[in-house]
Amino acid sequence: MTEKQMNDKSPEKSEDSAKNNDKPKGMLRTSGLATLLVLTGGTAAGGYFFADSLVKLAVEKGLSNAVGAETNLASAEVSWHPFGVTLNGLQQTDPQNPEFNLLQIEQAVAKVNLGELLLDRLVIDDLTVSKLQLNVKREQAGEVYSVEESQNEEGDEGKGQEGGLADGFAIPSADDLLAKADLQTEKKAKNLEQVWQRENAEMDKALRAIPNEAELKKYEDKWKQLKGRKIKSLDDIEKLRAEIKSLKAEVKSDKAALKKAREQFKSSKEKVGVAYKELEAAPGQDWQSIKETLPIDDPNAVAISKMLFGDEIGGYLEQAQSLYLKVKPYIDANKQVKADQKIDTQISFRGEDIQFPLEEVYPDAILLSGGASVLANNGKTYQLSFTELTHQSYVRNAPGTYVLVQENSGSAQALTVDGQYFINQASAFTTEGQWSLKGEKLASKSLSDSSDLKVELTKAIINGNGQYQFDKLLESSHQLKFEQTEFTGESSTELSDLVLNTLKNIDNFDLNIGVDGDILSPSTSVRSNMDSRLNTAFKDAFKQRWKAVEGETKDKLSNKLQSALDLNSGDMKKLNDMDLDLNNLESSLSEYSQKALNNLIDSKKKQYEDELKNKAKKEVDKQKDKLKDKLKDKLKDFKCCE
Amino acid sequence: MFTLLAKILSALNSDAEPHQIASAIALAMVFGLNPTLSLMGLLVIVLLFSLRVNLSTFIALFAVFSGVAVLIAKPMHEVGLLVLNNESLQPLFTEWFQSYWFRVLELNNTLVMGAMVTSFVLFIPVWLIAKFLVDKYRAAFQAFVEKFKVVQSLKASKFYQVYQAVHTQ
């Protein structure tokens, strides 16, 4: 805007302004007040009329984002006094199996505390869920937005079953036992081989340093030559002395090498001997170890009930663990959120919240009371009621309680589960509870489907009770009593025949199950009076069979040992041969001892001296004879008494 | 910045009643010191819609007082702490704390309470001082100021052109 334009406009504006100023003005701005009322009213009316749609949209978006799969909600209604939400026809697709719903609810009515909602807390005074169903097939597959990473479920083969007894009633063969045992025989045989190879190399090295046969022959020749040497002068003696000195040095060096070789031999023999002894003892140790890991000595220790029900119990445990693993990330996330909130308050200055005592305190989210009717896939309806369900039990210092009831057609309670849990400030979860089961008719259930025994519990009435407690570690005990039982099945071996016939004669039995320890790897114990009955029945047969297995296993271990020993027998012979060779060599070299060499010089010296003496004597005799002859010649003409 | 100053001068030189300008300044002080979505903030919005106050002055000074609020946050927190920890007021606050309005409006927060008390206490003095200054400015200072050569040269400047444009709008 230029100055000119401004100047052009100013007079008109000034006039308008002057006119306006002439009007009497009160304190109230009526037009503003009207605008405020219209805005406020409009917002309230909009909220009132569109609340249902907004809630429907929020539930669908929120759930589908949280779960990662399509959420369908038929309708949602908002009631204002008291404030609450009703959800009709909720279906949540299972992201891992989009053909099925993770859960399906016919209707859920929640009464929500609006004041707490404004304070960012979800407090549901009452929640009623009708016809909650899990894992129901959808009419058409739901859309999946993100597939959760499948949990690495470790295959717990043989979990809950004592070693070697996983395959129904098949007693483990000798091969099975050997395969499962951590065999010392094989290890020790390998060790012996390694020790031998190492020591053999050391021995070879030592043996290479000692004289061989050709060198010994050279010594012999040299010795003969020296022994036969004629000494004609003092020079010859000196020469002989020098040669003997050289021979002595060679012999000394070879003797040192021989000494070293003998020491090496001694050490190697010792080491190989130890390894050999260990190998000999290994089969015995292996058998002991197999006996310790398997209930071989005492057939009573073999829990038949565990064989029959182990898989069933394992299945329930796996389900519980899978549920725990699904919940665990949320518990961890809660811890993270709490930590983040702490950091936030530390960073920004926004004053300090002074807390005054409250008559009613609430955590961030809580279901104060409620109930749900759960329609199970087996057609049974379970009534679930609960109070104080929250992830922050410590806020109200009240445990969350839950009661699950399943009624029989005769209105008698068939199953009741009654428990409570508490989550403390450190997000540590504890729970305890008990359950009871009365007059539950068991549908036909397969207990064993192994190659040699198929057992089915076709009929039974179950009563039972149990209690559980979790505080870092799980402690639980469960007692079940099976009455009016009927077993059917097929058997193909002597042992399984015995089992099946014994079971067929049982019309009631009890089952005591204990699940204790770490929740992700609990130890289970299953005991039943059926065990003693069955064990009594086939104890002898079992023992005989075990004896056969024991014999076979021991034979196989012996064979393993023998083959290992055979493998090394050639090496051991070589070691003994070396000993012999060293002895021969030692005796050969002893011939060339220092003393023998010194004696040779002395004898040669003496021989030479004797020769010189003889020679001198001969010369003297010769001179004597000559003088004698000369004298005779001079005296032959001389006549004494003529 | 020119526009802000221009708006203030425009209001001072306009025909708006001094009490309207003083109310705008006092309300801007309250709105600036308190969080927008607080009890006082909402009250000020309602008053702005309902009462005839000078909006230009309000908008211009709201920015100023918002800056001041940041600077005096600590003293206001101390005031809030003093009030909320006052022994004689404990029963009252405990009773109020049971109701949702008190907690929704975060009146248990030292900064919110401190800002509310501070702005409440300052409202009347600020209004009176503002009115006094506007009256004084219009009666003597406006004519006096305009005689200055510096003001005359200022009038010839770009700033004055902006001021004129705002004033005539």
- Confidence class for position A1, pLDDT limits 50, 70, 90: very low
CA distance B49 to chain A (A): 5
- Put simply, whether B82 touches A (Cβ < 8 Å) is no
Between CA A199 and CA A205 the distance in angstroms is 10
> Mean pLDDT lowest for which of A24-28, A285-289, A451-455, A515-519?
A24-28
Q: Determine how many CB atoms are found less than 10 A away from the CB of residue A635.
A: 10
Residues in chain A closer than 8 A to B85 (CB atoms): 354
Query: Residue A168: what pLDDT?
Result: 42
Residues B137/B12, Cβ–Cβ less than 8 Å: yes
Between CA A185 and CA A183 the distance in angstroms is 5
Residues B153/B147, Cβ–Cβ less than 8 Å: no
Q: Which tens digits make up the pLDDT trace of A493-537?
A: 766 777 788 788 888 888 888 888 887 778 888 888 877 777 666
Residues in chain B closer than 8 A to A29 (CB atoms): 49-52
Query: Inter-chain contact B164–A356, Cβ cutoff 8 Å?
Result: no
Residues in chain A closer than 8 A to B97 (CB atoms): 356-358
CA distance B111 to chain A (A): 5
Query: Residue A404: what pLDDT?
Result: 92
- Confidence class for position B14, pLDDT limits 50, 70, 90: low
- Put simply, whether B51 touches A (Cβ < 8 Å) is yes
Residue located via tokens 């026809």: A89
Residue located via tokens 């009593």: A481
Asked, as a colleague might, if the bond just before B35 is cis with ω within 30 of 0, I would say no
CA distance A30 to chain B (A): 7
Residues in chain A closer than 8 A to B169 (CB atoms): 13
Phi-psi region of A481 (alpha: psi -120 to 50; beta: other; left: phi over 0): beta
One-character DSSP codes across A271-293: HHHHHHHHHHHHHHHHHHHHHHH
Between CA B101 and CA A188 the distance in angstroms is 81
Average pLDDT over residues A218-224: 77
Q: What percent of chain A has pLDDT over 90?
A: 18
Query: Residue A262: what pLDDT?
Result: 78
HSE (side-chain half, CA atoms, 13 Å) at B149: 0
Chain A residue closest in CA terms to B111? A351
Greater model confidence, A53 or A218: A53
- Confidence class for position A166, pLDDT limits 50, 70, 90: very low
Query: Inter-chain contact A354–B165, Cβ cutoff 8 Å?
Result: no
- Put simply, whether B86 touches A (Cβ < 8 Å) is no
Average pLDDT over residues A288-313: 60
Is pLDDT above 50 for A301? no
Query: Residue A157: what pLDDT?
Result: 39
Interface test with chain A among B13, B38, B108, by most A beta carbons within 10 Å: B108
Query: Residue B91: what pLDDT?
Result: 94
Query: Residue A12: what pLDDT?
Result: 44
Between CA A93 and CA A608 the distance in angstroms is 121
Query: Inter-chain contact B109–A352, Cβ cutoff 8 Å?
Result: yes
Burial string for A388-402 (b: 16+ CB within 10 Å, else e) reads bbbbbbebbeebbbb
- Put simply, whether B103 touches A (Cβ < 8 Å) is yes
Is pLDDT above 70 for B12? no
Map residue A534 onto helix, strand or coil: helix
Q: Which tens digits make up the pLDDT trace of A207-216?
A: 787 777 777 7
Looking only at the bridges linking them, the beta strands covering A365-375 and A122-137 are parallel
Query: Residue A587: what pLDDT?
Result: 73
Average pLDDT over residues A329-347: 59
Between CA B68 and CA B103 the distance in angstroms is 26
Query: Residue A393: what pLDDT?
Result: 92
Q: Which tens digits make up the pLDDT trace of A385-429?
A: 999 999 899 999 999 999 999 876 555 568 899 999 999 888 888
- Alpha carbon A289 to chain centroid distance? 20
- Put simply, whether B68 touches A (Cβ < 8 Å) is no
Query: Inter-chain contact A351–B50, Cβ cutoff 8 Å?
Result: no
Chain B residue closest in CA terms to A25? B52
Residues in chain B closer than 8 A to A361 (CB atoms): none
Average pLDDT over residues A148-163: 41
- Confidence class for position B96, pLDDT limits 50, 70, 90: very high
- Put simply, whether B159 touches A (Cβ < 8 Å) is no
- Confidence class for position A3, pLDDT limits 50, 70, 90: very low
Looking only at the bridges linking them, the beta strands covering A453-471 and A381-390 are unpaired
CA distance B85 to chain A (A): 8
Query: Residue A536: what pLDDT?
Result: 66
Q: Nearest 5°: phi and psi at A76?
A: -135, 140
CB-based burial label for A231 (10 Å; 0-12, 13-18, 19+): buried
Name which of A25, A350, A354 is nearest B84 (Cβ-Cβ): A354
- Put simply, whether B70 touches A (Cβ < 8 Å) is no
Sign of the Cα pseudo-torsion (A626, A628, A634, A637, in order): negative
Residues in chain B closer than 8 A to A25 (CB atoms): 17, 52
> Mean pLDDT lowest for which of A62-76, A155-169, A286-300, A558-572?
A155-169
Chain A residue closest in CA terms to B100? A115
Chain B residue closest in CA terms to A35? B49
Query: Inter-chain contact A349–B73, Cβ cutoff 8 Å?
Result: yes
Query: Residue A613: what pLDDT?
Result: 86
Greater model confidence, A590 or A370: A370
Greater model confidence, A564 or A99: A99
ipTM score: 0.76
Residues in chain A closer than 8 A to B94 (CB atoms): 356-357
Residues in chain B closer than 8 A to A28 (CB atoms): 50-52
Query: Inter-chain contact B46–A357, Cβ cutoff 8 Å?
Result: no
Helix or strand run (H / E) with residue A366:
strand A365-375
Residues in chain A closer than 8 A to B17 (CB atoms): 25
Query: Inter-chain contact B80–A351, Cβ cutoff 8 Å?
Result: yes
Average pLDDT over residues A197-212: 80
Greater model confidence, A105 or A147: A105
Query: Residue A503: what pLDDT?
Result: 81
Average pLDDT over residues A110-127: 91
Name which of A32, A350, A351 is nearest B49 (Cβ-Cβ): A32
Interface test with chain A among B81, B97, B101, by most A beta carbons within 10 Å: B97
- Confidence class for position A205, pLDDT limits 50, 70, 90: confident
Residues A326/A83, Cβ–Cβ less than 8 Å: no
- Confidence class for position A619, pLDDT limits 50, 70, 90: confident
Cα–Cα distance list, A221 to A218, A385, A596 (Å)? 5, 111, 15
- Confidence class for position A451, pLDDT limits 50, 70, 90: confident
Is pLDDT above 50 for A5? no
Name which of B50, B109, B164 is nearest A353 (Cβ-Cβ): B109
Greater model confidence, A451 or A141: A141
Q: What percent of chain A has pLDDT over 70?
A: 72
Is pLDDT above 70 for A541? no
Residue located via tokens 């031998």: A196
Average pLDDT over residues A130-134: 89
Greater model confidence, A217 or A10: A217
Is pLDDT above 80 for A251? no
Between CA A407 and CA A335 the distance in angstroms is 39
pTM as predicted: 0.55
Helix or strand run (H / E) with residue A508:
strand A508-517
CB pairs under 8 A between A and B: 83
Is pLDDT above 80 for A154? no
Chain B residue closest in CA terms to A10? B168
**Residues on A contacting B at a C-beta cutoff of 8 Å:** 1, 3, 6, 9-10, 13-14, 17, 21, 25-29, 32-33, 35-36, 115-116, 118-119, 349-359
- Confidence class for position A347, pLDDT limits 50, 70, 90: very low
Is pLDDT above 80 for A623? yes
Query: Residue A8: what pLDDT?
Result: 44
CA distance B144 to chain A (A): 23
- Put simply, whether B73 touches A (Cβ < 8 Å) is yes
Is pLDDT above 90 for A111? yes
Query: Residue A288: what pLDDT?
Result: 76
Q: Helices marked H in A24-108 — which ranges?
A: 30-67
Query: Inter-chain contact B104–A25, Cβ cutoff 8 Å?
Result: no
Greater model confidence, A641 or B62: B62
Between CA A564 and CA A195 the distance in angstroms is 13
Q: Tokens representing A286?
A: 């292996």
- Confidence class for position A300, pLDDT limits 50, 70, 90: very low
- Put simply, whether B48 touches A (Cβ < 8 Å) is yes
Query: Residue B98: what pLDDT?
Result: 93
Between CA A515 and CA A531 the distance in angstroms is 19
Query: Residue A18: what pLDDT?
Result: 47
- Confidence class for position B52, pLDDT limits 50, 70, 90: confident
CA distance A136 to chain B (A): 42
Averaged confidence pLDDT in chain A: 77
Residues A258/A586, Cβ–Cβ less than 8 Å: yes
Query: Inter-chain contact B111–A351, Cβ cutoff 8 Å?
Result: yes
